[in-house]
Amino acid sequence: MQEEKDIIENVFTKASIKSFEEQINTVPENYFNQFPAQILSKIQQKKKPSLIIQLGKFSIAAAFLLIVAGSYFLATIKSTKENTSIAIHEIPTEEIDSYVSNNEWMIDAEMQSEINKLGLNLEENKQSKDSID
Amino acid sequence: MQSDQIIIKAFQAGVQKELQFTELVKRHQQKLYYQIKRMVIEHADADDIAQTVWIKVWEKLDGFKLESEFSTWLFRIGYNETINFIQKKKKIPFVSTEEEESNPLKQNTDTHELQPAQIQIKLDQAIKQLPEKQRFVFMLRYYEEMAYEKIAEIMQTSVGGAKANFHQALKKMQEFIQID
């Protein structure tokens, strides 16, 4: 080590090497006293995400929730529809019969109105045929 | 005084992390800063790099395996950051034309006849013209009196490689004096 130092000091002199080191050692006042606190505050700042990042994260979370909720809603509607059509097929015949007998008067009324309509049509047809003749 | 290892273990266990970290900074900040400044010369640049290094230390200290000395690990981060900085900004310090014109060395080239101020300038220039690796080894060896083994560990090279870098640096500096 000393041999290496001697070579360097022979070339440049001890004084100039010392002077270079003095130039390097010159720092602003209190620099080293303030440095640890300065670093810690930078680390704290890095830990806290900025408002934009926070909002960004929030909006991503909201969009995700919306997609999940929407998909669930659509799936529920679809399954309800499927359940309904299955239910019709599965209604027992006795139940249909009882529904019909209970609502017979309605069916009669519907049939009567259909007959009336047909009668009117027939009469109109007859009249038009007579006028042609 | 607690060893670096005890402080690091406490940090890794989550015991008053900021306090442990501050203690490490206080212990090692000066040596790290000076080594960086010997490479980049300007205080503002050295400060920027030193801050980046310490922030990286905070981020990576939990994963530090204590297989090497903390100072070796710290200097390795410092070395990488300094080299990155120099390469990125191409900020290899140089003497401006104006400075060169008024440079007393231009009037006198024999080092034996140089005034102390002239030798100082000559030394600055000789150091600045060294490639980064050689400059880094030269500074650690001469000013920190660091063993080649540790220098090799920091620079992730062989001991022979570190020695070769130092001797090449010496040779280039001698040549610089003779040629100029």
CB contact under 8 A, A4 and B170: yes
Task: Point out the domain boundary residue: B68, B89, B110.
Answer: B89
- Put simply, whether B64 touches A (Cβ < 8 Å) is no
User: Rg of chain A's alpha carbons, rounded to an integer?
Assistant: 49
Q: What is the mean pLDDT of each run of 10 residues along chain A (133 residues)?
A: 77 77 89 95 81 67 84 77 64 78 76 81 74 65
Chain B residues closer than 8 Å to A12 by CB = 111, 119, 122-123, 126, 173, 177
Please identify, among B73, B89, B105, the residue that sits at the C-terminal boundary of a domain. B89
Question: What pLDDT, on a 0 to 100 scale, did the predictor assign at position B158?
Answer: 94
Host domain of residue B27: 4-89
B37: closest chain A residue by CA: A24
Query: What is the number of other CB atoms lying within 10 angstroms of the CB of residue B8?
Result: 20
- CATH assignment at residue B57: 1.10.1740.10
ipTM: 0.75
Q: Are residues B79 and B118 in the same domain?
A: no
CA distance B14 to chain A (A): 16
Q: How far apart are CA A104 and CA A123, in angstroms?
A: 28
Q: Which residue has the higher pLDDT, A58 or B52?
A: B52
A41 Ramachandran zone, left/alpha/beta (phi>0; psi -120 to 50): alpha
Amino acid identity, position B38? R
Q: What's the confidence (pLDDT) of residue B123?
A: 80
What percent of chain B is predicted at pLDDT more than 90?
57
Q: Mark which of B89, B110, B135 sits at the end of a domain.
A: B89
What CATH number does the domain containing B159 carry?
1.10.10.10
Cβ pairs bridging A and B (under 8 Å): 75
